[in-house]
Every structure is written in C-alpha cells, then in structure tokens.
C-alpha cells in the first residue's frame, strides 16, 4: 500500500504574480505595491495520498492557495464515496471539518492526482492582505465559486443514467480546464475510471461500461491528453446553467 505523503520543499512566492486574477479589483498603483507586499511560503506536494499535517499557526490564517496541480478530496460513508476535484486558484483548508465532529461516521482523504504547489496563506500573509480589502473580496469569491461547483456536481449525480452524469461532469470540467481543438474539446486531466466513479457517485465497473458506450457513440473518448468531447454539451447541463440566478438579480 502506498504510504501517505506530506508537503515538502518549502519556498516563497509573490502571490499576485502567481495568481494575478486575485488583484483584478486593485488600481494599477495599488497592484504594484500589493505584488511586493503579498509574499507567502509555498510547498510542493508529490503525487499520491496526502496527509495535510499543519501546525497551529496556520489555523489562524486563510488557508492554502493552489498554484499548480490537481487534487481530489474524497468523502465516504459506509463504503460509498463522493469526491471534489480541485486545482489552480482554489482555496483549501484541509484541516477544517476533519476533527470527527459530525454525527455521521465518515471517511475523508486527500489524493494528489498531479504534482501540486500551494501557497501557504498564514496569519502573517492575512495581515498583508488586510491592507488591500479588494483581495479579501477576491478570496471570498473563490470560496463561493467552489461552493457553486459543488452544488452543480450534486445536481449532476442526481441524474439517473451514469452516462449522462459522465457527459455532464466532463463538460462541466471543460468550462474550467477545456481546450478547443479542431476535433473537439479536450479536457487535459488524467482522470482514471475510479476517480470518475467517485466524482459521479457510481461504481467503477458501471463507469467503465458507460464510458465504453459514450466512446462508441463518439461523444466522449479517452485521448493522450485526457478526454476528448465531441458535439454539444448535454442539454441537462445547459438547463442546469440556465437555472442559476446571478447574485445581482437576487
């Protein structure tokens, strides 16, 4: 059995150079100052099962900002698992909610699917961010976007047919990671059948059967870079997007 890993190779970075979208609300002069002010330690995490082992000082900070890589968070009850896929730009607090306080007996775990690098937004970094209120808004926006993606994924797994779930999921992932090519849209993520099974709340053999059906009909095919999507997004996903109400209209 593969041994769990922890983060290694501590370095530092200018956060707003690594993730310039965070500074979208700043004026040019503020942005220039903020780039120099907002510095954080970074850590690299190798591929494999990850135990997020952190000491108390980080609990008082913001969390971890993913700069590169792909991570999977799995949650299971009675041997049935769901999962969340996280990548560049996501904010993590992997120690939060893992203290067993729930009334349900659950199993949780993290797996690094592609080698990751994260910025450690600790208490000192939070103090630097506090000088630029717009950055706080950007971080809250990231957290809300993560919650939105989780809600969409919940709606996807409630579809009755697994092949529909898979098409909806992959097109949903294409919104973030997809690349348009002449032959279709490539989702450049190395997602195994087992990972996809967790993401769509199905059994791995069922997912394999559904993927074979989708491949025969030409709508979803494995490719050297991940997954190739052909045709248009499934109507169920388009209907789901139309149901979302912008916050400005609420």
Mean pLDDT of 230-236: 84
pLDDT band for position 249 (50/70/90)? very low
**pLDDT tens-digit map of 117-161:** 999 999 899 999 999 999 999 999 999 999 999 889 989 999 999
Q: Can you list the domains of the chain with their CATH numbers?
A: 8-146 (2.60.120.10), 158-249 (1.10.10.10)
194-228: burial string, b at 16+ Cβ within 10 Å, e else = ebbbbbbbbeeeebeebbeebeeeebbbeeeebbb
**pLDDT tens-digit map of 174-224:** 999 999 998 999 999 989 999 999 999 999 999 999 999 999 999 999 998
pLDDT recorded at residue 16: 96
C-alpha span between 212 and 127 (Å, rounded): 52
Tokens matching residue 183 = 């032959």
pLDDT recorded at residue 59: 60
Q: What is the pTM for the complete model shown?
A: 0.85
Calculate the average pLDDT of the chain.
Answer: 86
pLDDT band for position 247 (50/70/90)? very low
Give percent of the chain with pLDDT exceeding 70.
84
Mean pLDDT of 59-76: 89
Lowest mean pLDDT among 81-90, 127-136, 238-247: 238-247
Lowest mean pLDDT among 1-15, 32-46, 70-84, 114-128: 1-15
C-alpha span between 15 and 35 (Å, rounded): 7
* pLDDT higher than threshold 50 for residue 2: no
Mean pLDDT of 81-101: 81
């Amino acid at each position: 059995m593969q041994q769990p890993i922890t983060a290694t190779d501590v370095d530092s970075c200018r956060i707003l150079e690594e993730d310039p979208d965070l500074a979208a609300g700043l004026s040019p002069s503020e942005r220039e100052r903020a780039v120099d002010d907002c510095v954080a330690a970074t850590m690299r995490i190798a591929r494999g099962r990850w135990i997020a082992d952190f000491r108390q000082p980080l609990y008082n900070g913001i969390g971890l900002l993913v700069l590169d890589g792909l991570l999977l968070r799995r949650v299971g009850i009675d041997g049935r698992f769901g999962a969340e896929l996280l990548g560049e730009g996501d904010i993590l607090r992997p120690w939060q909610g893992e203290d067993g306080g729930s009334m349900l007996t659950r199993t949780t775990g993290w797996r690094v699917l592609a080698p990751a690098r994260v910025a450690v937004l600790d208490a000192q970094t939070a103090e630097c961010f506090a000088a630029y209120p717009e950055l706080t808004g950007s971080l809250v926006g990231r957290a809300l976007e993560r919650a939105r993606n989780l809600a969409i994924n919940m709606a996807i797994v409630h579809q009755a047919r697994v092949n529909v779930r898979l098409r909806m999921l992959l097109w949903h992932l294409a919104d973030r990671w997809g690349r348009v090519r002449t032959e279709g849209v490539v989702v450049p993520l190395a997602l195994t059948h087992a990972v996809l099974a967790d993401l769509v709340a199905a059994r791995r053999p069922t997912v394999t059967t559904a993927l074979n059906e989708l491949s025969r009909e030409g709508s979803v095919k494995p490719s050297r870079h991940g997954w190739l999507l052909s045709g248009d997004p499934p109507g169920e996903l388009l209907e789901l997007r139309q149901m979302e109400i912008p916050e400005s209209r609420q």
